[in-house]
Amino acid sequence: MSATPVVAAARTASKKAGLAFWMERVLEECDRTGVDLAPDPVHDLRVALRRCRSIADGLLVMDPNPAWKQMKKAGKQLFSQLGELRDAQVMEEWVHSLGDPGDPVTGTLLCFLAGREAQLKQQAALALQEFDRKQWRRWVTSLPRRAARLRMGSPLFKHLALERWTEAHESHRRALRNRSQLAFHQLRIGLKRFRYIVENFLPEQHDTWSDDLKELQDLLGEVHDLDVLWATASRIKAFPDNDTRSRWHARIVEERTRRIGKYREKMLGRTSLWQVWRAELPQGRQIEAAALSRFKLWASFLDPDFKHSMHVTRLALQLYDGLPSRPADSDLGDQRSILQVAALLHGVGRSKNQKGHHKTTFSLIRRLTPPLSWNEEKLRLAGMVARYHRGALPGAGQKTLVGLTPGQRQLVVRLAGILRLANAFGAERDARIERLEVDTQNGFLEIAAQGYSPRDRKAEGIAAARHLLETVYRRPVMVKPLRDKAEN
């Protein structure tokens, strides 16, 4: 069956706007810009660099490969130098628009900006020479292949867009509340970051939202330009007297106010674009599900045996669901999700080393930015649980546990005990033990394991791993084979 016109158009657009397209475009625009660093080529090269760097930003959240950071860093200096030059060129356009030819302020500003532009062109030309095109060409081959592993328009990218929407919307509220230049500048950045995720990873939404997003970013960008122009004119003392200063200030305020007014028309009320965008992004439980999928994807890029970690996760959740809860458990948040993420991520440290990989795992998780629906405290607890899935037992002398409340410490110990035992059941990596059932019998915790035999070589490891759970529940843990009902 052939694709619908909308889907077909989205696919065509994604090819033209994909990472490979923009990385090739950077090299083409470098050649064009190097001729005379004119405004249009400078703008086009910055757009191409910005698209590459913003795509890397989005993919780095999912794929921890260091090449994404390296590519971003490689383009940063050139992007920044071109940005300063572009700012000077844009200010010249504003001076021509706002000032009269015979106005002394116009002449003073244009003279200053001409000198500034000449200096910045020299710096930009040097940055162009230092830009490593050979390395960039190698990335043109390798990085789009990694990007192709992630499906554009997926719930993962909608979840990431919702994070950016949330940040931008908060900046919107602050800007309208205090109306400061800094607040509107932060709003511009927040909206820009939201726009980049949409245009790079959500082709269907971008097809609908792109015009509005561009107009809003242009409006806020022009507000910022006017603020910079006024600050520059004041700094270089471009005004010969107070009357001239007042006249220029009135012009700038008028232009600035008109643009903020247009922004408000689109972004306030029940029909505002904020609400239109929010309606198409994840809702309710979709947010938590997408966050979990992001954890899985991130771990799959690092863990050399992620299939084993998925198996251990299933066993850990079976144990958790079968074990008796304790009175304090309900006061400590969603322990099941903390255990699930700890289990999924417990093997990521193997990407760095095998010996002591549990400590490396904790370090990697600590550096993660919590996805929407999670917070730093919850993610830190998951990292601690993963840290203690093997090795030394979590005890009072452990530095990792410093700063935890007694309840949090008990949570880490309990969940680490569950994960440690689940990991022992999956230690042979043959996935033979698929099902666990927990029962309480005569003061014992009895765990029946399908495919388990006390004569297996893994039985010794299971016997050792159950110790932490026995400490938590203060009762012996007995492991036995799970018999099929047909055998009974």
Q: What is the pLDDT of residue 458?
A: 81
Strands 444-449, 436-441: pairing kind? antiparallel
Q: What is the pLDDT of residue 395?
A: 80
Q: What is the pLDDT of residue 17?
A: 63
Across 146-173, b (16+ Cβ under 10 Å) vs e yields: bbeeeebbbbbbbbbbbbbbebbbebbe
Q: What single-letter amino acid sits at 313?
A: T
Q: Where are the beta strands (DSSP E) in 123-178?
A: none
Q: What is the pLDDT of residue 331?
A: 52
DSSP secondary structure code for residue 66 in this structure: T
Positions in the chain short of pLDDT 50: 1-15, 488
Q: Which two tokens stand for residue 391?
A: 């090795």
DSSP-based three-state secondary structure for 181: helix
Q: Which two tokens stand for residue 458?
A: 């893994």
Please check whether residue 432 is in contact with residue 381, taking contact to mean a CB–CB distance below 8 angstroms. no
Give the distance, in angstroms, between the CA of residue 31 and the centroid of all CA atoms in the same chain. Answer: 32
- Give the C-alpha distances (Å, rounded to integers) separating 466 from 184, 254, 318: 57, 73, 15
Distance between CA atoms of residues 343 and 392, nearest Å: 17
Say which residues have a Cβ less than 8 Å from residue 253's Cβ, sequence separation at least 6: none
Query: Treating both helix axes as pointing N-terminal to C-terminal, what angle do 133-147 and 67-98 enclose, rounded to 10 degrees?
Result: 110
Edge-first strand order for the sheet with 477-481 is: 436-441, 444-449, 477-481
Q: Which two tokens stand for residue 115?
A: 């000198």
Q: Which two tokens stand for residue 101?
A: 């030819």
Q: What is the DSSP string of 286-297?
A: HHHHHHHHHHHH
Please check whether residue 79 is in contact with residue 53, taking contact to mean a CB–CB distance below 8 angstroms. yes
Q: What single-letter amino acid sits at 376?
A: E
